Structure 1
């Protein structure tokens, strides 16, 4: 992968971001499991309600995560040179806007649109990384988490 230059490849992901990032995938994983096997998820649905299962959980949590990532990118945009800052601030709000449109659409393709949002977010991660606005380990972490999230979102519901 061209975008994973030697700076990204040689750098190890710090333990805290790695484990917290992996923990952040758990709701996507539970959404996939509960969509795939309703027998496993029935006790949780009885306890917490159907919104904590399958497609509903993945859509809600996915929108939250895309919005969270907008905030992360906004923080990185603060490091941009003054002449480029408006561009990076503008790019940083796109994941949150996308999440809003996905949830508001109520279309049957919402999970596919959410997946597209995570792919686009990874594209933004690459752009911010290439402009040296992120830590050196950022793309390694984001590649792993994006792959896991997209896998979970691809489970048929």
Structure 2
């Protein structure tokens, strides 16, 4: 596989910060208490993970749409249909701040990785795409698992 270009790698890693913050502020009451002196509860603990994760699943639908646009005919139509699944999943399944929504959000990211693999397998994604997506998804799922299991 080819090396992940620096800019997508750096932006992808920076995009993990809200997930990492969510897990850290969930695990540490002291950190959460400190943060609440500066931000609203929406930006601490599981709330930030849920809201940001929902945004990212929707964003990734747009990325997949762009991959679908590289295809033609029936594969393009199938790609467009598949590309909207992450956004619709987030909209219909992540409905509140419950453990169930966290589980559905994690499932959405796992499913997204399967969609990434499908687009990559068709040659619609860059050659380095799966290396980046596996790395980012593993960290996202670890953070969401922390919220679910603790």
TM class, shorter-length: over 0.9
What residue number does 1:67 align with? 58
Match of 1:123 among 93, 98, 114: 114
Q: How far did residue 150 of structure 1 move?
A: 0.4
**Alpha-carbon deviation of 1:29?**
0.3
TM-score, structure 1 length as denominator? Answer: 0.90
The farther-off stretch of 14-23 and 100-109 is 100-109
- Specify the SS of the correspondent of 2:47: helix
Alignment of 1:96 with 2:96, yes or no, is: no
Could you say which residue in structure 2 is the equivalent of 1:146?
137
Unaligned segments of structure 2, at least 5 residues: none
Residue 13 of structure 2 corresponds to residue 22 of structure 1: yes
Match for residue 72 of structure 2 among 77, 81, 85:
81
Cα distance between partner residues in 2 of 1:115 and 1:31: 14
TM-score, normalised to structure 2, is 0.94
Do the aligned partners of 2:94 and 2:104 also contact (CA within 8 Å) in 1? no
Q: Does 1:58 align with 2:53?
A: no
Residue 40 of structure 1: CA displacement? 1.1
Give distance in 2, aligned partners of 1:45 and 1:124.
37
Q: Runs of 4+ in structure 1 displaced over 6 angstroms?
A: none
Aligned to 2:73, the other structure's residue is in SS state coil
Question: CA–CA distance in 2 between the matches of 1:59 and 1:107?
Answer: 9
Match of 2:28? 37
Equivalenced residues, count: 148
Contact conserved, 2:95 with 2:101, CA < 8 A, in 1? no
